[in-house]
Amino acid sequence: MARRRQIYEGKAKILYEGPEPGTIIQYFKDDATAFNNQKKGTINGKGVLNNRISEHIFTALGAIGVPTHFIRRLNMREQLVRQVEIVPIEVIVRNVAAGSLSQRLGIEEGEQLPRTLIEYCYKDDALGDPLVAEEHIACFGWASQDEMNEITDMAIRVNDFMCGLFAAIGIRLVDFKLEFGRIWDNEYSRLILADEISPDGCRLWDMKSNEKLDKDRFRRDLGGEVEAYQEVARRLGLLPEGETNEVVDLDQQRKKRGK
Ligand code: TMP
């Protein structure tokens, strides 16, 4: 078999040329980084879980009419996606204060924000993905005004949907990061949701205990990373039947103990 061509290697994924023009294969690695690559590690099995979780969320978003790059999952670690021209902006959506927002503005972690907040970072590893304003995006032409309107509309829609999806399984969606890409049709382009949505780029807290079920476990040396990612997958109904039953049993035992 011909060796496929690697297009790009990022911190958590490798991109390969897809089988047809305009497609790409996303390979999910177990590598984890934080603080712009200053902290590095491996979370065994993370790639498999993120591949499944991202597939699930992108499929669900597609079903409500949000255009995404996702085509289909190929195997445990790979998915086929549409090739896009990535917009060099990380779109951060926040419902609850945490992380860099709390640090920057001195707002206590866990405080519900008065309204959903959208922030933008310029995607540039060498600069550490700095926070930028919409004026920077317009000034340097990273995205047009029409594209920014579309991006914010889609981000709000994704947030509303994901808040509900996670609330239904007892998880508070604190914040998350989205990336968008352009697909071209002659001289016209349109935007679709790209990259991944997984516990690597979301803050997910258990609604009852506030336990962190996301990459903050790695960033903050809390341990139990893979168990947390597994718990998210399990609650989304993505793990085999036996393991799901185990959780149901545990839940029932907990309830009995509580009574
Ligand atoms: P922050 O509080 O560190 O700015 O992160 C906000 C959210 O965005 C959090 O859920 C993690 C996610 N995120 C990424 O996915 N990639 C990044 O490079 C950064 C800085 C944040």
Verify that 55 and 102 share a domain, yes or no: no
d(C-alpha 83, C-alpha 20), whole Å: 10
Pair (72, 135) in one structural domain: no
In this predicted structure, the answer to whether residue 138 has a pLDDT above a threshold of 50 is yes
Domain that holds residue 141: 85-206
Q: Do 72 and 89 fall into the same domain?
A: no
Task: Dump pLDDT digits (tens) for 37-83.
Answer: 999 999 999 999 999 999 999 999 999 999 999 999 999 999 999 99
Same domain? For 71 and 110 the reply is no
> Phi first, then psi: what are they for 240, rounded to 5°?
-55, 155
Q: What does the pLDDT look like over 201-254, one tens digit per residue?
A: 999 999 999 999 999 999 999 999 999 999 999 999 999 765 544 544 444 455
CA of 10 to the centre of ligand 1 (A): 16
Give the separation between CA 174 and CA 193, rounded to whole angstroms: 20
At 60, is the secondary structure helix, strand, or coil? helix
From the alpha carbon of 100, which atom of ligand 1 is closest?
A: 2
Nearest residue (by CA) to ligand 1, atom 7, is: 176
Angle at 43 between CA 69 and CA 236, to 5 degrees: 55
Helix (H) / strand (E) element for 114: namely strand 112-122
Residue 31, domain CATH = 3.30.200.20
Structural domains in the chain (count): 2
Report yes or no on 113 lying in a domain. Answer: yes
> Is residue 68 within 8 Å of residue 62, measured between CB atoms?
yes
**pTM for the full predicted model:** 0.92
Are 122 and 142 within 8 A, CB to CB? yes
**128 shares a domain with 47:** no
Cα–Cα dist 200/221, whole Å = 14
